[in-house]
Amino acid sequence: MFSNCTDPSALEGLSWLACYLTNGKHLTAYASVGTVLFLLLVTAPAALAFGFAGAVAARSRVAPLRWLGQGYTSVVRGVPDIVFFLFFVIALDQGFEWMRHQVLCPDWSEPIRRGNDFVVCPAAKLPLSTAPQWVHETYGFLLAVLTFAIVFGAFAANVLSGAMKAVPNAQIETAQAYGMTERQSFWRILVPQMWIFALPGLSNLWMLLVKATPLLFLLGVEDIVYWARELGGTKGKVFAYPHPDWRLWYFLALLVFYLSLTQISEVVLGRITRRLSRGQATFAGEKQRKAAA
């Protein structure tokens, strides 16, 4: 990055360290921090959408829809995350390719399953072998987002379902007595008030999501855990910047990053909680009323 970094062997001390921390691989590692943050920003609303759909389905009067919502929350929550991330992504990828294969290659006569191999026609591959590298990386990232959203959406569905039940039923009955339909009372009374009851559970779920981002490493995405292991490992004389095993220092940097992220999250979530508690018949709402009196 700096002009004096052209010959690392001639550097010493802080100059060597400055050039080492600003070489191409480190800049890519710094960009992977953005990958983790972008995953959180995309996955959180996606998981919330899955969770809301699951919670609404679980309380539906239509039996098949209710079974689907209850089955989604029970099955996904019952499967260990590591198992889900290792095998579901493969099944999801193969499912997409199988659907494309049925549409794009109807005349294909060879079997798709060949022992442990899954072979589809070249036109059905996702992404295509001729696609640039950024397409492969984007596809892998989107699979990761979808997997995270499905897993954490099941937990969010359980939280939101409990929050809906916590809203006093008398308010729903009052809304219906004033002439509101069931749909109107759901969207105007139940949904706005359930968030204060759901926020503690959703806050914990957000923290779990933050801690789960290193699972990107298992999905083949080059995240900060991948680069910490890659850059911190022993580098011999064949490398431009040889050094002993520094993984301890890289993982300590990861520790600081995640602790900082959780601390910022706690501050933001605390402010949201205070905002939503205003005027609510909850402990936090009563505390605000007493403080204002």
**In this structure, are residues 231 and 167 in contact, taking their beta carbons and an 8 Å threshold?**
no
Q: Using alpha carbons, select from 230, 256, 232 the residue that is nearest to residue 244.
A: 232
Look at the block and give the residue holding tokens 């939101």. 160
* Dist CA 240 CA 7 (whole Å): 8
Q: What is the pTM of this model?
A: 0.81
| Residue 46 clears pLDDT 90, i.e. is over it | yes
Mean pLDDT of 240-258: 89
Instruction: Please give the CATH topology (third level) of the domain spanning 14-292.
Output: MetI-like fold (1.10.3720)
List, for residues 79-90, the tens digit of each pLDDT value.
887 777 777 777
SS3 48: helix
Q: Where are the domains of the chain?
A: 14-292
Residue-wise pLDDT tens digits, 223-235: 888 888 888 888 8
Q: What is the pLDDT of residue 153?
A: 92
